Amino acid sequence: MQGIWTTERIRAAEDRLLAVTPDGELMRRAAFGLATHTAALLAGRTSGVSGRRAVLLVGSGNNGGDALWAGAFLRRRNVAVTAVLLKPERAHGAGLAALRRSGGRVVSAEDGPQWIDRADVVVDGIVGISARGPLRPDAAALVERASAPIVAVDLPSGVDPDTGAVDGPAVRAALTVTFGALKPVHALAPDACGEVVLVDIGLRPELGEPDLVRLDSPDVAAAWPVPGPGDDKYSQGVVGIAAGSATYPGAAVLAAGSAVRATSGLVRYAGHAADVVRSRWPEIVATGSVRDAGRVQAWAVGPGIGTGQEGRDVLRHVLGQGVPVCADADATTIIARSPEVLDARDPGTPLVLTPHAGEFSRLMGEAPGADRVAAARDAARRYDAVVLLKGHCTVVAAPDGRVAVNTPRGSWLATAGSGDVLTGLLGALLAAGLDPWLAAASAAHVHALAGSLAAGGVPTSASALVTAIPDALRALRS
């Protein structure tokens, strides 16, 4: 599990570490790592390091200091380094002196473009964890000019460090070299960060518990249910799927099929698409109504059930069964419009809501906004439910404040029926008895992995996603 810390926590930890570390030592550790990874990028992209040209974009704080020191280290490998100072009077003094001593060139922002045009790599030391808002016009013009790959120092400038939000011009890096710990931007703005590498500067002992986490494949593999020798189809957890309609059976087929592929427990289906589901998935026990579905250990409800009286009755029924419920799609809309359906919920029964931004707005009366982590946390508290907020990056918040972020590989999951597949995965994990927050974060992880395997670099479909679930689970366990 990767921990992620907000900039406030990072700064406090850095202050504690700075107090017991010789002056300038932390910055040199950071800059040495930055130089090493920048040289590796140069070697990878230009088949060499010596004689290559690096341009440093240097802002007014320690982020610029990192870039200047890294420039001095790159000089030792005979890289031609030019620092473009955005605020000459506020550039980091020791870093500037080190670069000058090493034989680096220092130019003004006006002279920057001619050097940027000939660069093999551009190092973005414009702003780090003290960033506020998008790039300012002078910096934006220089960044716009760069056609060489950009290495972001700590984080891509112009992107909000704590929310990953981009509200104007921002750096789009090929590589981000960060120090001490991952910050929210690294999980929430993967496209702006590019590849992210973490340089250890000794901060970890000062950090305490992370604010957010990102599950790694081994975490998900460890959580994913595996039957034991004493298990049968019932003991592994029976999931009920209430989805789809006679006119729109697709959601039912996808959600139910995804549950079949997720675990080896039994899957029941209840709804108007029973015939279609049975013919597509003969291993499913399918009935026409949730009332005669039989006993389950969790319900996944919502996709395609409609938002009228019948949908409300279905939702009310499953909420009253005393088992965990994953409420998705139409179920979310019903809860938003008729919150009294939640009165049917047995106290203490886990609920997982899986809204996209539009459903979230209905549930909360306002859009998630720039701070999606805070928005998901608020919704989790308001509904006393695990809230999985869909989007390019999925945020999973629990009512107790835990938050997991899933960073996707590509955007292939943005396809019709993709959400139904997630619902089936989540229902199966809830039925197996996983903690609902872990179930939601694990389902999101496997969903993204199956998406990238199904796509393999070309557009995919929700059906292909279901087919790819076993491959994703195999990849997890390997």
Ligand X SMILES: NC(=O)C1=CN([C@@H]2O[C@H](COP(=O)(O)OP(=O)(O)OC[C@H]3O[C@@H](n4cnc5c(N)ncnc54)[C@H](OP(=O)(O)O)[C@@H]3O)[C@@H](O)[C@H]2O)[C@@H](O)CC1
Q: Which residues bind ligand X (CB under 6 A)?
A: 14, 18, 26-27, 30, 59-64, 66, 126-133, 135-136, 139, 153-154, 158, 179, 201
- Check the annotation: does 419 bind a ligand: yes
CA separation for the pair 332, 343 (Å, rounded): 15
Long-range residue pairs from 452-460, CB within 8 A, at least 24 positions apart, any chain: 452/408, 452/409, 452/410, 452/412, 454/412, 455/410, 455/412, 457/410, 459/412, 459/415, 460/412, 460/415
- Check the annotation: does 208 bind a ligand: no
Residue 191 CB, nearest approach to K ion (Å): 16
Angle subtended at Cα 305 by Cα 302 and Cα 308, rounded to the nearest 5 degrees: 115
Binding partner selected for residue 133 from ligand X, K ion, none, CB under the kind-specific 5 to 8 Å limit: ligand X
Contact 311, 329 (CB under 8 A): no
Rg (CA), the chain: 26
Residue 153 in contact with K ion, rule: CB under 5 A: yes
Binding partner selected for residue 131 from ligand X, K ion, none, CB under the kind-specific 5 to 8 Å limit: ligand X
CB nearer to ligand X: give 24 or 410.
24
Q: DSSP state, 220? A: H
Distance of CA 95 to the CA centre of its chain: 34
Residue 62 in contact with K ion, rule: CB under 5 A: no
Contacts of 93 (CB under 8 A, 6+ apart): none
Residue 195 CB, nearest approach to ligand X (Å): 17
CB nearer to ligand X: give 185 or 353.
185
- Check the annotation: does 162 bind a ligand: no
Contact 465, 424 (CB under 8 A): no
Residue 66 in contact with K ion, rule: CB under 5 A: no
- Check the annotation: does 13 bind a ligand: no
- Check the annotation: does 157 bind a ligand: yes
CB nearer to K ion: give 116 or 221.
116
Residue 379 CB, nearest approach to ligand X (Å): 29
Dihedral of alpha carbons 20, 21, 23, 26, sign: negative
CB nearer to ligand X: give 12 or 357.
12
CA separation for the pair 176, 429 (Å, rounded): 34
Binding partner selected for residue 293 from ligand X, K ion, none, CB under the kind-specific 5 to 8 Å limit: none
Residue 53 CB, nearest approach to ligand X (Å): 23
CA separation for the pair 184, 48 (Å, rounded): 33
CB nearer to ligand X: give 167 or 471.
167
- Check the annotation: does 62 bind a ligand: yes
- Check the annotation: does 356 bind a ligand: yes
- Check the annotation: does 168 bind a ligand: no
- Check the annotation: does 228 bind a ligand: no
Binding partner selected for residue 124 from K ion, ligand X, none, CB under the kind-specific 5 to 8 Å limit: K ion
Contact pattern from residue 157 through residue 186 relative to K ion, giving x for each residue in contact according to CB under 5 A and a dash for the rest? x-----------------------------
Q: Take residue 275 and report the two structure tokens written for it.
A: 């015939």
Q: Please, which of residues 121-150 interact with K ion by CB under 5 A?
A: 124
Q: How many C-beta neighbours within 10 Å does residue 322 have?
A: 11
Binding partner selected for residue 6 from K ion, ligand X, none, CB under the kind-specific 5 to 8 Å limit: none
Spell out the alpha helix ranges (H) of 87-216. Answer: 93-101, 112-117, 137-145, 184-188, 190-193
Q: Give the chain's length.
A: 478
Q: How many C-beta neighbours within 10 Å does residue 30 have?
A: 27
Contact pattern from residue 105 through residue 124 relative to K ion, giving x for each residue in contact according to CB under 5 A and a dash for the rest? -------------------x
To which residue do tokens 């994990």 refer? Answer: 429
Closest by CA position to 317, among listed 271, 359, 362, 281? 271
- Check the annotation: does 406 bind a ligand: no
CB nearer to ligand X: give 11 or 76.
11
- Check the annotation: does 132 bind a ligand: yes
Residue 67 CB, nearest approach to K ion (Å): 8
Binding partner selected for residue 420 from ligand X, K ion, none, CB under the kind-specific 5 to 8 Å limit: none
CB nearer to ligand X: give 130 or 247.
130
Residue nearest to ligand X according to CB distances in the complex: 128
Residue 307 in contact with K ion, rule: CB under 5 A: no
CA separation for the pair 118, 114 (Å, rounded): 7
Q: Take residue 139 and report the two structure tokens written for it.
A: 């910096």
Total site size for K ion, rule CB under 5 A: 4
Contact 66, 57 (CB under 8 A): no
Contact 40, 121 (CB under 8 A): no
Question: Where do contacts with K ion occur on this chain (CB under 5 A)?
Answer: 124, 152-153, 157
Binding residues: 62-66, 124, 128-134, 154, 157, 251, 304, 356, 390-394, 419-420
Q: Which residues are annotated binding-site positions for K(+)? A: 63, 124, 157
